[in-house]
Each structure stands twice: as C-alpha cells, then as structure tokens.
Structure 1
Amino acid sequence: MRYWFLCALLCCSTMTLAGNKVVLVSLDGVRWQEVFGGSDPQLIVSPAYVKQPQLIHTYSPGHAEQLMPFLHQTVAKHGVLAGDRNKNSSVSVTNPAQVSYPGYQELLAGFADPKLLSNADIPNPNPTVLEWLATEQARQVAVFGSWQLLPQILNTARSGLLVNAGFMPLQQLHTERVQYLNELQQKTPASFATVRPDIFTQEFALEYLRQKQPDVLYIALGEADDFAHQQQYDRYLQAIHHHDAFLAELWRTLQNLPAYRNQTTLLISTDHGRGLAEQWHRHGQTAALPGYPAPEGVPGSEQIWYAALGPGVPAAGLVQGEFQQGQLAATLAASLGLDYRAAQPKAAAALEFNSQFQLASDTAPAADHQGP
C-alpha cells in the first residue's frame, strides 16, 4: 500500500498549523554524485579540473557529510532524501532537453512542456504552482534567484510574482541592509554574465524573509552550475559547500522566527543532472526530439535528487524508489494542505513512499545504475 509523501502533514498538521509556510531551494546543476558521494575520486585529483586544491582539501571522496554537513547531519536525520542511485533511490527529469529552463518549468509547473527545449529568453506560457498559490490561493509568494532568466520562467508579466533575480536591485523592501546590498551588488565584479554571485541572492532572500515573512519563498542558487560549465571542479565543490552552509543558516533563521518555527516545510532540489566521469561538466538532451537531429546526449543529465525537512515530513532518511522532478510542485502545495493537481491535472502527483518507508541502507543491493 502506498500513500502520499507528507501524509502526516496533510492528515494532522494542516489541522493544527494554520498558515503553514514553505521554502523551496534549488541548487542549479548540482549532481547527485557529489550530494551522496562527496567529491569524485578521479576529478578531485585532476589538474585539468582542479587549479586550487587548497580550496577543497577537506572534501574527501566517499564522505558526503564533509561537503554537505547540514544535508547529511540534519536533513538525513530528521527528514527525507532521495536520489542516491547506488542505493535504489532515483529521481529523474522527464523533459527531454535536460537543461535549466525546461528543468525549472518541470520543477515549478509539475510537468514537462515539449515546446520548451532550450534556455531561450522567452516568457513561459505555463503557470507554475507559485503563480497558482499567489493568484488563486491568495498566498504571499516571493522569489529570489541568481539566474537572470527566472522572471521569464515565472512569467512575471502575467503572474505578477515578486521575482528578484539576476543583477536586479531589491526595490520592494527599504531597509538599511537592503540599501547596502544594492550598492554592494553594483560594485562587485561578477564571474558570469547572466548569473549574479549567490551571496546576494541569499542575503536578499534572508532579509526579505525576516521583514516580510511570506507564506511561500523560493530561492534559486546558480553558481555551482556555471563553475561546472567552466570545468572548475574545485570552485564547483566550493559552491556546493557554500550552498549547504546557506541551507543551515536558512533553517536556523526559520526556527528563530515565530511565524515559521515548527510549521515550515523546506524542500531542496535541482533543475538537471550532469554527465558522468569526464563529461561531468556537461549536460543536455539525451532523448530524440521531433524535427531535431539525433542528439549526442550527455548520459546522467536526467538524474537529479531532492530533500525535504519539516513538520509532517517523516524522519526516513534516504528512501528507496523511483521519483520524478515534477512531483515537487504538487508536494509544495500539499505541504500547505492544497491540491495543486485539481487545478493543473497535467502535474505529477505529490511525492509518495512505501508505507513501510523502505530505507536505503549500506547493505541494500546496488541499483543497476552507474555510480560516481
């Protein structure tokens, strides 16, 4: 017998925790291999990919808790993880493009759109769960991201969502700290043309969280993916470690605010996977598309992961099973006691697990997948 992931939240918490909150964080292009296996033993010693070994000498292969201590010491103990394909746990994208824009569309709308096949700078024709929550459910929603295409993905012209992304100053909040961050962002050299340093996304989001306390907050971090594309494995690992430190700070902040303490669900995932071995820095289409030539493909691009923590989330650790990226949209709504699929039938079902919570253990038989 199977039942909804977060069933305790739906059956109990929605009755007692009126006004539940949700925070979703996406870590662009972070592979499941590093999330569950730590640094790659071949890549971390490659002079082609590691120019500054002193940055990553503490991230040992096979020790994921060194790279992401919050994820493995807090989320794994008190929440749920999925996506370690070495332990019969997999999460996959269903969009054939397997790049960022289609990935965020699937993550936030709950389904893949076959017409969205690239990172083209166009408005998303599909409403997302965030738009539905803001316009149909009267929830206060705020979005902070590092990639400048996020307003298009969320189609702010139509949705009216508050989206601060790319190199935009934050104009919806007037505090001394925001003024300082706006000025500092203008003065800070950027490593990438379309992605601002994640620290500004993080600090804007934290300040807005403290001051405005929205019902739903989405934070999209982006630097790890860009360092990977530049084949800088050292900076990629460093970015992942910084992501984890931010997640820890975010969770502490939520627990220190009465409006969020013990009534906030934290969801964490990514937009796409990456290639294996020497293709680790690439990702993209592995399925044939109508009207397009057969793709070269980057195996592994469809392989992602997710994590969840909060009231009603079972303390199940790593859970076995096969799951899809699109399930997070309905899960986000379900954690608020809402049925997103009733409004968007194309969306995948909220995450569900075996009623026995089949935990992936060190002695579990290995799945038929290539590992880190």
Structure 2
Amino acid sequence: MKTERIVMIALDGMRWQEIFGGVDSAIIHNNKFTKDAKDLDRTFWDADKSERRKKLLPFFWTTIAVKGQLYGNRDLGNYVDVANPYKLTYPGFSETVTGNPDTAIRSNALIINKNINVFEFINQQEGYQGKVATFATSELFPYVLNKWRNGLIVNANFDSLPYNTPQMQMLNEMQRLTAKPIEERPDLLTYFAAREYLKSYRPKVLYIPLGETDAFAHKGLYDMYIGAVHAEDAMIADLWALLQSMPEYKDKTTMIITCDHGRGVKDEWTSHGPKIDHAENIWFAVIGPDIKPLGEVSRPGQIYQGQLAATMAELLGFHFTAPQKILPPIESVLH
C-alpha cells in the first residue's frame, strides 16, 4: 500500500439521493421546505441527472468520479447501509469508527463509548502516536471517541483552539463572535480549524465530521441544506488541493467521505431514526493512491458503514483488532 495518511470527512445526515441525483425537484417545489425555489432551480437544476449532481457536487463528480470510487447508488443496486437499528447520529458515528453496530448505543445521549475505535488503535501504532486528530462540529465526538480513555486530540463544537498561531487565535475570536444558526460551531470554522491544524502540525490521520447538513434538514430548510452540501463539497475540494500541494501528503493520502445515517423520503426527508423508512440508506466515497478509479460503482452489492473502520486500518497496513466484534474491511476498496 502507498497510503501513509488518512483524511476522513463526514457529512452528518447527508442523503444518498442528492449525492447521486442532485437536487430533488419535488422538495424544491414544496414551499413548506423551500422559500426560494427559483433561486435553487437557477443554481442547481438540470434535466440531465449527471449534470444536476455535478452542479451540486462538482468535486465529487469531476474528481472523485474520475480518480476514485463512489458507493451507494441504490438505483444501480449498489447498497450501503447502517448496520445499527437506530439510524441516529451517535450510533452511526460509533459504528463507523469502532466497526461495531453496538445495540447498547441507542440515542444521542452524551455517554462515553466503551468500544475501542480505529483512531485510538492507529494512534497506538509505531510512528502514529500523537499524530491522530479530530475536529468536529458536534459536541458528541469526545464521547464517541472516548478521548478520556485514549488521549486522542478531539476538538469539538465551541472548544477553544489551544494553539498559538495567529490563524488559530483568529478562529477562536470568530467562534466567540459568530452567530449560531445550528446551535453548534459553523462547519466553515470546524473546517478551517482542521485545515490550519494540518498545515501547522502535519497529522497522519485527520477526522472532520461536519454537521450543518443534518441541522438544516431537521429544520426543514431544503435551500439551506443544499447550500451546506454545495459548500462542503467546496471545502473537500480545497482540502484535497492542499494535500496534493504538500510533499508529506501528495500521493500518500487516502480521503474517505461518508455520513452517519440517511433520511426519509418525500415529507420525511427531514427525519431519521428507527421508525423512518430508508434512513438506513447511506453512501461513501474514497480517493487516494491505492484506490482504483472505478468512479460510480455500479456493481450490485451490500456494504455496511461499520466496515470503514477496518478498511482505514488496512489502508495504513494495520489489522484493526479490539475486544468488540468488528465488521470486515471493504475488499473492493483495498483491491
């Protein structure tokens, strides 16, 4: 394997329907969810689905679709799902990082995760100690990753940034003064904190879970949800360009992008959870030096989000082991 570093980005509650189909015209033209349908139509609509999704997610469909792999287009029989039965944020993120759909984690309560996660496992490996960091929008992540047990670097929500660079101090001031439309740190500030940390401290594994997609969807604000999706695609493109400009990362870094759960359809697009049909349906994308350029994977199959944990470890040359049961790695990503 050529991969020496991993960057993982998560878009909380981002639906597979927009990833593979672009904006949803039925939701756009429902004034319950969209205040300015004309603006969304003008910016993101195209009758051709391939063009429509490219307008919404240009990096996904001009770079990852050419050089990487995208999984989860159910219209092609390529299924990616959560394995936990709850279809909620904490259970989803826990499954992703521990490889275990633990049925004891059934809500978003701030409880400390007893399962070992792949990031702390990697942090224990030679050459990776102290080189694994998380910058998250949600306050859940110190608990999901159990930073008190393993000492992982986890900066979440409005945590101050304990770094003395001018850029980090400016971000602290921006966090202090910003509006809070989703009651958490804006994703843009989470992203810039992670980017500045990468530039200054050169982590080998960087995890960036963002949150605005889920927050705006819960509020039923489709135009804001779509705006967040498009902005996060731009952040991902910006980060990939930065990685390719740095010798430590260029041609040595695999990027994985995913979510924690799906959402319902039609009027239930705002919701997820055990009673919401289709909220188990998710997706992921991957690009890097060991990833074959399959683009949009059309081969029928079934993958679960918990398989990403072991996959990350294998990409770095490690076999993820822990006391809990761990789902197997994704062979089509590795080979």
1:15-65 alpha-carbon deviations (Å, 9 max, x no partner):
xxxxx1100000000000000000111001111101134652311163111
Is the contact between residue 127 and residue 159 of structure 1 (CA under 8 Å) also seen in structure 2? no
In the alignment, the residues of structure 2 paired with residue 128 and residue 352 of structure 1 have an alpha-carbon distance, to the nearest angstrom, of 20
Distance 2:175 2:333 in 1: 46
Q: Find 2:280's aligned residue among 275, 297, 302.
A: 302
TM-score (norm 2): 0.94
Quote the residue 1:260 is aligned against: 249
CA 1:262–1:354: 2 relative to 1, 3 Å: closer
Aligned residue for 2:197, secondary structure, equals: helix
Taking the aligned partners of 1:22 and 1:230, their CA distance within structure 2 comes to 33
- The answer for the alignment partner of 1:89 in structure 2 is 78
> Structure 2: how far apart are the matches of 1:324 and 1:277?
24
The residue type equivalent to 1:100 in the other structure is: T
State the secondary structure of the residue aligned to 2:43. coil
Corresponding residue to 1:36 among 20, 23, 30: 20
Q: 1:206 to 1:354 in 2, by over 3 A?
A: closer
Summarize deviations over 1:273-309 as a string: whole Å, max 9, x none: 0001110000001xxxxxxxxxxx1111100000000
Matched residue type, 2:311: T
> Equivalent residues in 2 for 1:30-179 (5 A)?
30-53=14-37, 56=40, 57-60=42-45, 62=49, 63-139=52-128, 140-171=131-162, 173-179=163-169
Whether the aligned pair in 1 keeps the contact of 2:14 and 2:213 (CA below 8 Å) is yes
Letter aligned with residue 26 of structure 2? Q
Matching residue of 1:322 = 302
How far did 1:343 drift? 4.1
Matches within 5 A, 1:161-240: 161-171=152-162, 173-193=163-183, 195-240=184-229
Structure 1 residue runs without a partner (length 5+) = 1-8, 15-19, 286-296, 358-372
Contact 2:291–2:333 at 8 Å: present in 1 too? no
Q: Contact conserved, 2:182 with 2:216, CA < 8 A, in 1? A: no
Q: State yes or no: 1:353 paired with 2:319.
A: no
Q: For residues 138 and 96 of structure 1, do their structure 2 counterparts lie closer, same or farther at Cα, with a shift above 3 Å needed? A: farther
| 2:312 equivalent among 322, 326, 332 | 332
SS of equivalent to 2:257? strand
Query: Per residue, is there more helix in 1 or in 2?
Result: 2
Unaligned runs of 5+ in 2: none
Cα offsets for 1:166-203 (capped at 9, x unmatched): 111111x210010111011100010122x210011000
Of the structure 1 ranges 259-268 and 345-354, higher mean CA displacement relative to structure 2 is found in 345-354
Question: Sequence identity of aligned pairs in percent?
Answer: 40
- Which position in structure 2 is the counterpart of 1:369? none
Q: 1:45 and 1:267 mapped to 2: Cα distance? A: 33
Query: What one-letter code is carried by the residue in structure 2 that aligns with 1:145?
Result: A
Partner amino acid for 1:59?
A: F
Residue 22 of structure 1: aligned partner: 6
Letter in 2 for 1:27: L
Letter of the aligned partner of 2:284 in structure 1? Y
